[in-house]
Structure 1
Amino acid sequence: MRVFLPTVFTLLLCLFVDPAAAANIARGGSAYMGCTATLSGILYPEDSEAVSAYFEDSDDAFHVLCLDSPGGSLSEGIRIGDILQERGVPTAVGRNAECLSACAVLFLAGLEWFNDGTPPLPQRLLHAGGRLGFHAPSLTVSEGSFTQEQVSRAYDIAIATLAEIGARKADWKLSDSLLTTLLRTPPSEMYEVDTVFKAALWGISVVGTAYPANNSFLNAAEACTKDYAHRRETGRVARSGTPIGPESRSGYEPALVDDVYNGVSIRLGGFGDEGRFETCVVSFTSTGSSGLSTEKQAARAIDAWGGPNWFARVDWSGGDVTFMLPSMFFPSATPLAAIAAPMDGQYMSVETARFLRPDIDLTSSGRCTVWRGDQLADNERCNQSHLRTVSPKLVYTDEKVFTWPSGVETVIKSVNFEPTVNGRAAKVVWDWEQPATIAGQCWFNEFSGNTFCFEPS
């Protein structure tokens, strides 16, 4: 997309193209995405007038605008976004469609207003087979000589246009990290919303996906972790020191519960910081002998909520309620294209384990020591290999193998944070418990009475 500046300066978010390819808004679009209209082509000045005229003339009581555009005028994208925000028009990017640069900015204006006084909610749909990408605009200067006044004026307009996006943070309900990512991505690159985590963090609803083949504790933890990340991103829970990212996962002490209102459910604890942990209850709307069957659950979800995508409900102990899409139950790093269903509106299941990879640390070197009380019994160089895994039942296993020069191995294995040393019960020795002479990470072997420590190089 581009914002047009005076004379020779142009703020761009896409390549120059033939104006004959200017954006067009037409009635209809993907029925699966619920589109009442589709905006396609490159955004040029005055396209917002055509969009405004379309909605003024439309008799539809409710709108969903599908988008298929490589970008164009940034300022025009912002104007169209204002029109959508004021009218409460959700946005959508369907299968095989793309929404890049300026189009991605107006996509963020998708909101749904309610007649009962409920505050508007972001409503931005992305098909797993579609493409959504952001980057910062660039100031392009044609050849020639320019006065300092011309350059200063162009620069001021460019900065003012960027500030217009930030000024809409509250009205469009944009997060800080989204704005930062948009502005930090160089114009020559594209930050694509192409994984489950990227979409979940910013509240972009991914549709057109396969369903998880089962409703394991691990899959429920994946969904709750991403929803907690979004809640923290949008200020619904306090900022904390808990890592939030595509490699993070929270949730412990899983249990099956029978919710009298919501049917078979999975309860997980451990979201947030110590002292203010939240509990997440994932309800699947399937009862009786069907248990946690995802196929029956998908059919029930359609009956219960009237759409092909909502899959489960999450209730937080803090009071929030979220309706979950199937994509939320896949590992965070799962590529959206990998779980796009071949046909819309049909049930298809995929094993989430296909996208779960062990967290393997590369071998590192350091110094291994063995202590008897505060007396050093052994001290040699050694190598460490580290492997972390998690099972469908949400059993966390952390295994560190330390290889001594002789080839002998010391194995520290923790299952659900309970450590052993060479198969014997052990406990972590924290820094404040160690004598001043002992350095590194240490474990006390309750069988031998020795303390093993590793200090990385």
Structure 2
Amino acid sequence: MHGLVLAALAVLVSLTAAASLNAATIGKANSTNCVMLIGGEIVQGDFEKFVTIGKLLLPGDDGESTRRNTVCLASSGGSLSEGVKFAKYFYDNGIGTVIDDGQECYSACAIMFMMGTATGAEVSFANRKLHVGGKLGFHRPYLRISPGESIDSSAMQIAYDAAFSSALDLIAVANSKSPWSSQPMMKSDLVQRMLQHVGNDMFMIDTVDKVGRWDIEVFGSSEPSLLSEEQAFYACENSLQWQNGLTKGDITYSNVSDGPNGKRRSQSLSKETRQAVYQVEGLASGYAMESCVISRKKGTIFGCGIDEYSDARLGQGDCDHSNFADRSSSLKAISVFNPATKLEDLRTGQAVVAVQSGAARCFVIKGSQITDNEPCLVIHVGDAKVRGRASTITHFVWPSGSKTVLVQSGTSFEINGVSTGKRTVAERGDCYLNSATLNDFCVLTSPN
């Protein structure tokens, strides 16, 4: 019987992307973003090692919460049962989790990451942070059996029972309630996607949509300094949709709604650029209401609104400009981006040669109608070889963070990868026709 148990342990359920025989590295982190580091494959015994070292390194409650108790994770995964021990301990003891720039956290590590919290006498919250340059991936547990290995049926039954028990422990910890919330730490649609992916086929958390839906805080990203009509639209659509699931289909912003009236989807209710207030008509608006009022105050996005199709609400629901202050609540900063945006595209610190901030105004014109008119940044990325030709690349960055890219090679130009020509239009500056969209992009570098 002893031999059967040993054989069973050899095939116990595992959550790992790459096999290893080494225990995890656990100790002090070399980062300002966390106190401790857990790196490498998670194996039996690592949890007890962490508890012992953590008592020496983690600072504890700062009088308000345990927010300073943070652990960086850089692991391909490993033992599910050991990972669940970590996850439960993080949740119960208020230990925050971080995936730093360039770090990868897969499988069992991903479960551990999702259970990061901070606890305190007056405040508690989910405390899990993903750098836009980090990698987070999920897949379902599997039995690790070496090629050609012969496993006794009795041993396999023992392994199966152990795996089933570990899976139940995983579901139980994933269903733990997020502090001060009725929502679980891991929502059921994330667990579902995890179980749909096998082996090295990871379900990656790599877009604005995914971090927004599953309440993962990101850092290392650019934050728009202005609130535009496009940002307000995304803040409304995302904040309502994320209450129900991931965004379905492409919702790239167009400021003119469908239908015969051609009403603007996002309309300014204020003339103050830095305290702009927008009325947004949602994409589903029609038979029932989907609308929001969105504003920005002191760097925070606020909103109120309703989606009558799903009964999702922002703040206290339906509102207008007159009662916005009383009915609105704060929204996630990430909500102002197109949900399909890749996290890596939000990275700060991109190398640039020169930046002219607030010295330009960008327009998009279709036919005779101006569809966008907003302040923008002109970023001269510098010189490069494009298709073998010496070229100058310039990014025009809209308040939402999206970019229009202009490439000049001698007297030739490309706008967003499409050949174009340059002409000057009164009160619009330099204009470039995109032959793919038939839209004119114009930039006025000395706006009034």
Give a deviation string over 1:404-453, Cα, whole Å, max 9, x none. xxxxxxxxxxxxxxxxxxxxxxxxxxxxxxxxxxxxxxxxxxxxxxxxxx
Q: CA deviation at 1:192?
A: 1.3
Secondary structure of the structure 2 residue equivalent to 1:163: helix
1:179 aligned partner: 191
Q: Give the aligned partner of residue 17 of structure 1.
A: 20
2:108 matches 1:108: no
SS in 2 for 1:154: helix
**Residue 378 (structure 1) aligns with:** none
Aligned to 1:314: 303
Q: Does 1:121 align with 2:120?
A: no
Q: 1:81 to 1:259 in 2, by over 3 A?
A: farther
Identity of aligned residues (%): 22
Structure 1 position 263, deviation (Å): 4.0
Q: Deviations over 1:161-204 (max 9, x none)?
A: 22222122331521111001111111131121112112212111
- Which of 94, 98, 104 is the matching residue for 1:92? 98
Aligned partner of 1:52: which letter?
V
How far the C-alpha of 1:390 sits from its partner, in A, is 11
Report SS of the residue matched to 2:78.
coil
**How far apart are residue 355 of structure 1 and its match?**
8.5
| 1:257-296 aligned within 5 A | 257=269, 263-270=275-282, 277-285=289-297
- For structure 2, the residue ranges without an aligned partner over 5 or more in a row are 1-5, 177-183, 258-263, 307-312, 316-328, 358-376, 378-396, 406-415, 417-435, 442-448
Q: For the Cα contact (< 8 Å) 1:23–1:44, is it kept in 2?
A: no
1:38 offset after TM fit, Å? 2.6
Q: Which has the larger radius of gyration?
A: 1
Of 141, 162, 166, which residue of structure 2 is paired with 1:161? 166
Counterpart for residue 44 of structure 2: 45
Amino acid at match of 1:110: G
Distance 2:152 2:404 in 1: 56
Correspondence 1:1-400 to 2 at 5 A: 6-12=8-14, 13-19=16-22, 21-26=23-28, 28-31=29-32, 33=33, 35-57=34-56, 58-61=58-61, 62=66, 63-116=69-122, 120-142=124-146, 143-171=148-176, 173-212=185-224, 215-233=227-245, 244-245=247-248, 247-248=250-251, 253-257=265-269, 263-270=275-282, 277-285=289-297, 300-301=298-299, 311-316=300-305, 318=313, 320=315, 321-325=329-333, 327-342=334-349, 350-351=397-398, 352-354=401-403
Contact map agreement 1:195 1:334 (CA 8 A) in 2: yes
Aligned to 1:377: none
Q: 1:198, 1:259 → 2: CA distance?
A: 33
Q: Would you say the 8 A contact 2:87–2:173 is kept in 1?
A: no
Moved more, 10-19 or 103-112: 10-19
Q: Deviation digits for residues 293-326 of structure 1, max 9, x if unmatched?
A: xxxxxxx43xxxxxxxxx523344645334432x
Q: Which amino acid is the alignment partner of residue 336 of structure 2?
A: F
> SS of the counterpart of 1:44?
coil
3-state DSSP class of the match of 2:44? coil
Work out whether residues 218 and 391 of structure 1, in 8 Å CA contact, stay in contact via their aligned partners in 2.
no
The 3-state SS of whatever aligns with 2:348 is coil
Offset at residue 15 of structure 1 (A)? 2.2
Give distance in 1, aligned partners of 2:249 and 2:54: 39
SS at match of 1:159: helix
* CA distance in structure 1 between the partners assigned to 2:244 and 2:131 by the alignment: 24
**Cross-structure match for 2:322:** none
Q: What per-residue deviation string (whole Å, max 9, x for no partner) do you get for residues 130-153 of structure 1? A: 111111122122334333222222
Q: CA deviation at 1:93?
A: 0.9
TM-score, normalised on structure 1? Answer: 0.60
> What per-residue deviation string (whole Å, max 9, x for no partner) do you get for residues 388-414 of structure 1?
99999xxxxxxxxxxxxxxxxxxxxxx
Q: 1:390 to 1:221 in 2, by over 3 A?
A: farther
Measure, in 2, the Cα distance between the counterparts of 1:225 and 1:193: 20
Report if the CA contact (8 A) 2:24-2:38 is conserved. Answer: no
Q: Which runs of 5+ in 1 are unaligned?
A: 234-242, 286-299, 302-310, 359-386, 393-457
Contact kept, 8 Å, 2:38 with 2:72, in 1: the verdict is yes
8 A contact 1:131–1:194 mirrored in 2: yes
Distance 1:389 1:113, change over 3 A: farther
Residue identity in the other structure for 1:11: V
Are 1:196 and 1:334, in contact at CA under 8 Å, matched by a contact in 2? yes
Q: Tell whether the 8 Å contact from 1:212 to 1:330 is kept in structure 2 after alignment.
A: no
Aligned partners of 2:26 and 2:36 also within 8 Å: no
Give, in angstroms, the shift of residue 123 of structure 1. 2.7
Q: Is the 8 A contact 1:40 1:69 kept in 2?
A: yes
For the residue of structure 2 that corresponds to 1:6, the secondary structure is helix
Q: CA deviation at 1:85?
A: 0.3
Report the CA distance shift for 1:84/1:354 in structure 2 as closer, same or farther (over 3 A).
same
Contact 1:5-1:157 within 8 A present in 2 as well: no
